[in-house]
Amino acid sequence: MLRAAGVGLGDEVVVPAFGNVEVAEAVTLAGGLPVFADIDPVTYCLDASAVEAAVTPRTAAIVVVHRFGRLADMARMLGVGQRHGLLVLQQGESEAPYDEVAQRRERAGYLDAKLRGVRTPDGGDGHTYQQYVVRVPGNGRPDRDAFARAVRGRGVECRVPVKTPVHRLPEFRRCVALPETERASDETLALPVDASLTRREMQRIVSACNALGGLLQPAF
């Protein structure tokens, strides 16, 4: 994708560090240098202001990754691209049938109304809830990991969506300040929201999470 778009040796490409390593690897394979920018804490997608701050005369492109069923602010991102003459590429998650999305939204709405002790996602326009990602407040990763273990111990599957941001991996280690990326990596947890979940299973998720709500106080 990047080579076909004209990205080559020495070109900088702005990418997110919150997510899969494959995007940064693709930049390297094309001969470019991945430059990491911070994310919007609501959408978990690249923040347009952070992207613009990362642009240099060597920047050739921006790769925007839509996350968890939320879309990035493409109007602002395309504006950055136009101002600096940059290629703006998008990487999205696979689309699901309308009925499946509708059911996931219904289950997400149930969790939004019932969960306590975690910060539920901001639905926003068009959220398809490919993942239902909450924030576990407290002291970051230790509290989130303890919460996840306790929820699993109550029979509810959950997973940490991004265990290590890409800029912290040995092959891409960068000395760059990405506070929202770091915070999201430490606090986020994906709870089940599959269309196949029954009412009883949804109640089990709520019961397991809410039983721990008193252990963690929201960090306001």
SS3 state of residue 139: coil
SS3 state of residue 65: strand
**How far is residue 138's CA from residue 136's CA, in Å, rounded to a whole number?**
7
Please report whether residue 77 resides in a domain. Answer: yes
Split into its structural domains, the chain has a count of: 2
The predicted structure's pLDDT at residue 83: 97
In this structure, are 122 and 183 located in the same domain?
A: yes
Single out the residue of 94, 95, 91 nearest to residue 22, CA to CA: 91
5-19: buried (b, 16+ CB within 10 Å) or exposed (e) per residue? eebeeebbbbbbbbb
pLDDT tens sequence across 53-101: 999 999 999 999 999 999 999 999 999 999 999 999 998 766 788 899 9
Q: Which of 91, 120, 154 is the last residue of a domain?
A: 91
Q: How far is CA 195 from CA 83, 157, 215, in A?
A: 42, 15, 30
pLDDT tens sequence across 150-186: 999 999 999 999 999 999 999 998 879 999 999 999 9
Please report whether residue 103 resides in a domain. Answer: yes
CATH number of the domain residue 200 falls in? 3.90.1150.10
In this structure, are 37 and 77 located in the same domain?
A: yes
Write down the mean pLDDT value for the chain. Answer: 91
Please report whether residue 3 resides in a domain. Answer: no
Please report whether residue 50 resides in a domain. Answer: yes
pTM: 0.90
Please report whether residue 220 resides in a domain. Answer: no
> H-helix or E-strand containing 132?
strand 132-135
Q: Which of 38, 60, 91 is the last residue of a domain?
A: 91
Please report whether residue 170 resides in a domain. Answer: yes
In this structure, are 75 and 46 located in the same domain?
A: yes
Beginning with the edge strand found earlier in the chain, give each strand of the sheet holding 12-16 in spatial order: 33-37, 12-16, 59-65, 87-91
In this structure, are 107 and 71 located in the same domain?
A: no
Range of the domain at 120: 98-215
The rounded radius of gyration (Å) of the Cα atoms in the chain is 18
